[in-house]
Structure formats: structure tokens, C-alpha cells
Amino acid sequence: MPTFSKSLVWFRRDLRMFDHAALFHALRQSREVYCVFIFDRAILDSLPRRDRRVEFILDSVIELNQELRRKGGRLIVRHADATKEIPALAEQLGVDAVFVNRDYEPHAVSRDATVADELRVAGRQLLAFKDQVIFETDEVLSLAGKPFSVFTPYKNAWLKKLHLAGDDFFLKAYPVETYCTRLADPPPLLCGDMPALADMGFEKTNLSALGMPTGMSGAETLLKEFGSRVDQYHISRDFPAVKGPSYLSMHLRFGTVSIRGLARKAVHAMRLQGCSGSATWLSELIWRDFYFMILHFHPHVAERCFKPEYDAIRWESGERAQILFNAWRTGATGYPLVDAAMAQLNQTGYMHNRLRMVTASFLIKDLGIDWRSGERYFAERLNDFDLSANNGGWQWAASSGCDAQPYFRIFNPITQSQKFDAEGKFIRRYLPQLSALPDKHVHAPWLAPASVLRQAGLVLGRDYPLPVIQHDAARQATLIRYAVVKKSSVTALDE
């Protein structure tokens, strides 16, 4: 027999009908289940008025509502403060419990605690379930019962736990379809109209022009397409001009795809085909769990360095630092791979993973700018922004994070360009003013002979900027800057 008469499922970063932990448990334990999504003003009011993420969410919510209606329910949608709206809606619907999938970001944890308190006062419950990770918080610990701070042993323990339980145990889908007859159509007065972007103070973006498919159907399309080339993922993923990644990161961020479904596909491909590409892809999914775990056990990383001694580093400041930062964020550093990557981010909201490392290293270890400035800029611009992964990536580049690159490892933007965009295809796509340069010179135009620049019709300083800094000098300055952390003399590794 169901435990509850009426329940409410609060959708957040889990915008799908299938393999949904909270929805499954609510349907299984309740006679009637209502569904709601809140465009939370506490989050949205701080965003730019043209934000692809909000448009993506709205399109995905519309599709989710259509699917719920086909199953006999309907999605209540509000633009409000979630901490006030959820308790109020629970009262209006007369539900016994609110079901959610657990969120791990500090703001979300605080929000959910507030909602839980309000519900408790009214005699209701907030029930939270694991859904956006395979293993959460303390599920993967060292033999000493401590959280890991290095990825490889964490990954090994993660895989061991998975396989000891049987590959399908932690990866099996929640059979939501079995109980869909318990979806309830809420009273018409509580439904209202689906808000438009303009109703919430937002404007249309170029999301559709970019060809980014949204919602559950969009995720399914991308996953099917990726399946035809995943066996080469371990090779192709490092080359930005090649169609290598899955492009599912935005869908993972907003839960239009199931992490269990993705990991299951990767594991099965490894087991049946010995696919190296799938093994690498699974490793990337494990990194995602790893960073969620780090954020849970070390919430200070949201503001400070994982390694406290790195907070002693003195970063560039003042007018010169602001000029350098502006050159970086606008793609005007004079280093083509860096500038093309920033152009990709600014124009599309996406940046290739290899280039996230290159641009972060350049900001931190060439320009000497605090990693937090770059982290905040990425948080504003990335379609797939996720606090734990974004923070983990930036602290990795800054050498201040867990299992980070050594402080003396410094990416050379020229050699990175020559290695991963040898023919300059990616550079030419986003920096068309360099399109006539020969492959040999497109990575460092300022080193090209005057005759080559004339033939390409390129005037440096007018058509494309001269370098804002010299990499070799910056490399030495980085070693001096990091000397407060490591006193010994070390030669920088220029990669």
C-alpha cells in the first residue's frame, strides 16, 4: 500500500520523465503525485538577461510538461522564490511529502534545508534521493574511511564498488513507467500558463541557431550520434577541430539525460567490445562524481584554495591586471589558440575541454591573474556550468586543487596549438582574420616574416593584436609567484 495520499515532485536539475529517482519513489509511495518546476528567482535574478541556459531550461521544461500530460499529469511551473513557493504549493495541494533529487552545491543545500524546515513546521516531509551521480558523498571512501583527494585511487575504488555489486546494480534505471497511472492533473487554478522568456525578464539567444538540441529528445539525439564514434573518443577528444566530445555536458547539467544511462552504456561497451574510447568516457564521468565528492567534503573550495598554502600567492592587481583580464575574456591576447577558444565560449557558451585547460593556464600562469576571476567568468558564460566541475578544473590549472597539475607545469599556448590544432582549422573558424596565414605561422603570427603577413593581408596591432605578454618571461614570473608555496628551485615544464 502507498505510504502517502498525495505527494509533490519538485523538478530541478533533472528535467526528464525516465530513470528519475525522486519521481519513481514518489509514484511508488503515493496514491497521487503532482509535479512542479520553479524558475527560482534567487538564481535567475543574478544572470545576464540573455542567457542560453535559461532558454535551454524553458525548452526542456516545455517538453517535460508535454510528456507528463501524455501520461496523465501536468507540470506546475512558477517563476518565484523556491523557498517560499514550494511550502505554499504543498499547502495548496494538500500533499504529505515533497520528493526531490539531491543537489550538492552549497546554495542548493541551504535552500533545501530552508524548505525542509518550512515543510516540517506544517507537518510535511522533504524526501531527497541520489540521482545526479553514481556514487555520492561518502559512498566511495579509502580503506581508512577517509575521502580521497587524488583521482586515480578514487577511480579504482569507484570501479571496484561498481563491479563488486554487479555492474547493473548501481546503474540500473528506475522504472518510472510502472507507476505513471498515479500522476495527478493539478487543479486548473494552480497550473497557470507556461511563462515565456520575456515574462521572466529574459531575451532570446542564439541557442537554436547554434543547433543545440534541447530536452530529453535532444539528449537522445546527441547520445545516439555519439554512440557511432565513441570508440575513437580517447583519441579525438583532444582536438578541438574534430567532432570528438559527446556534447552532452549541458544535458547532464540539467538532467535531460540520466547519468546512470550514460555510465551503463560506457560499461557495457567496455565489457562487450573492450572499447578504449568508452573507458576514457567513463573515466570522465567518474571525474564528475569525484568533484561532487570534493565539494561535499571541502565546501571551502567554492571560495578558497583546496590547498590552504596556495592562498598565500599574490596575484597581479590594479589597472594592468584589469587590462590583461579584459584581453583574455574578449579573446584579444595575441595568442591565437587562446583567443579562438575564448571566441568559441563567448559566441556559443561552449568550450572544448582541452581548451578549458589551455585558457585557464594562460590566465593564471601567463597573465598572473587569480584563478577565481576566470572561474567566475566561466560560471557566467558556460552553458554547462557546474560549480563542482568548474571549480575543480580551475583549481587543477592553478595547481591549488586536489590532484592538480604541479605548479611548475605550464602550458605553452604555441606548442599546444601546434599539437592539437596543427592545421589551424579551429583557429581559422573563430579568428577568420588569420585565415590566409599558412599553417606554419597561424599559431604565432608575430613570428611570421613581414612578407608572409603582407601576403595574408594582415596588419598586427590592427587586424589582430600583438601578444599582450611574452610566454617565456611569464613562465619565469610564475615560478617566482609560486615560490611562497614551494621554496625549492624548480625549472618550469613548458608544454
Q: Following DSSP, what letter does each residue of 209-231 receive, concatenated?
A: TTT---HHHHHHHHHHHHHTTGG
Q: How far apart are CA 31 and CA 23, in angstroms?
A: 13
Burial of 276 (0-12, 13-18, 19+ CB in 10 A): middle
Grid look-up 557566467 returns 380
Q: HSE on the CB side for 229, CA within 13 Å?
A: 13
Give the sign of the dihedral formed by CA 40, CA 41, CA 43, CA 49: positive
308, with CB counted inside 10 A (0-12, 13-18, 19+), is exposed
| Under 8 Å between Cβ of 436 and 455 | yes
Q: Residue 95 has what DSSP assignment? A: -
231 Rama class: left (phi>0) / alpha (psi -120 to 50) / beta = alpha
Which of 352, 332, 365, 329 is CA-nearest to residue 425?
Answer: 352
The catalytic residue positions are: 284, 287, 315, 353, 371, 394
Q: Is 311 helix (H, G, I), strand (E, B) or coil?
A: helix
Q: Are 98 and 71 in contact (CB under 8 A)?
A: no
* CA–CA distances in Å: residue 301 to residues 296, 310, 369, 402, 425: 10, 12, 18, 10, 37
Residues in the chain: 495
Cell (9 digits) for 118:
518550512
Cα–Cα dist 219/246, whole Å: 10
**Phi and psi at residue 392, to the nearest 5°:** -60, -40
Element (H, E) at 262: helix 259-273
- Alpha helices by DSSP H, listed for 330-386, are 336-348, 353-361, 371-381
How does DSSP classify residue 467?
P
**Beta bridge partner(s), residue 460:** 464
Dihedral angle over CA of 11, 12, 17, 21, nearest 10: -80
Answer for the pair 365, 409: CB distance below 8 angstroms, yes or no: no
Contacts of 91 (CB under 8 A, 6+ apart): 122
